[in-house]
């Protein structure tokens, strides 16, 4: 029919409560290793672990599940500074979210990793890139990042 417009789909702004619980995590082939890591805590191969993957792969959801299990605090990698390090590890566990190669304080991260080792604290770091590929100026930090599974 000439001049006839196809029906339009209407979008409604319905409230949606985001839930980052274990019950609401959908396991798939792409995130099974991350889920296995979270489920294996505290029997991790190292006290500092990385969850690496693209946007939308479930890193933050898995980190939230682990934070609930471990009592971890959560902190954006961009917000990490030297003064925040002792408070960040106060519970003995920390989620450091979204470590980006160009947006973090190297000295603060180095201090955090050293303090975590000294205090036997756990750290779960989420990132889009593997730590071994991140350009890091501090050689001691570079070696610590490359040693993290």
The per-residue pLDDT string of the chain (149 residues; one tens digit each, 9 = 90 and over) reads 566 777 676 667 766 566 666 666 666 787 889 999 999 999 999 999 999 999 988 899 999 999 999 999 999 999 999 999 999 999 999 999 999 988 899 999 999 999 999 999 999 999 999 988 889 999 999 999 988 88
Q: Where are the domains of the chain?
A: 31-147
User: What CATH architecture does domain 31-147 belong to?
Assistant: 3-Layer(aba) Sandwich (3.40)
- Predicted model pTM: 0.84
Alpha-carbon torsion angle 143, 115, 74, 90, nearest 10: 170
- Which of 57, 8, 66, 67 has the alpha carbon at shortest distance from 39? 66
Conformational region of residue 111, where left means phi above 0, alpha means psi within -120 to 50, and beta covers everything else: alpha
SS3 assignment, position 52: strand
Q: What is the layout of strands, in order, in the sheet containing 122-127?
A: 48-52, 122-127, 93-99, 73-76
pLDDT of residue 17: 61
């Amino acid at each position: 029919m000439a001049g006839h417009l196809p029906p339009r789909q209407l979008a409604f702004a319905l409230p949606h409560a985001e839930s980052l619980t274990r019950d609401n995590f959908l396991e798939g082939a792409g995130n099974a290793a991350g889920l296995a890591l979270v489920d294996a805590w505290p029997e991790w191969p190292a006290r500092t672990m990385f969850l690496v993957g693209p946007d939308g792969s479930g890193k933050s959801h898995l980190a939230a599940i682990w934070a609930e299990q471990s009592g971890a605090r959560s902190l954006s990698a961009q917000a990490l500074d030297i003064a925040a390090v002792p408070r960040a590890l106060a519970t003995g566990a920390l989620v450091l979210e979204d470590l980006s190669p160009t947006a973090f304080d190297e000295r603060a991260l180095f201090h955090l990793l050293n303090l975590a080792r000294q205090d036997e604290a756990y750290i779960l770091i989420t990132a889009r890139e593997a730590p071994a590929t991140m350009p890091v100026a501090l050689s001691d930090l570079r070696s610590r990042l490359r040693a993290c599974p």
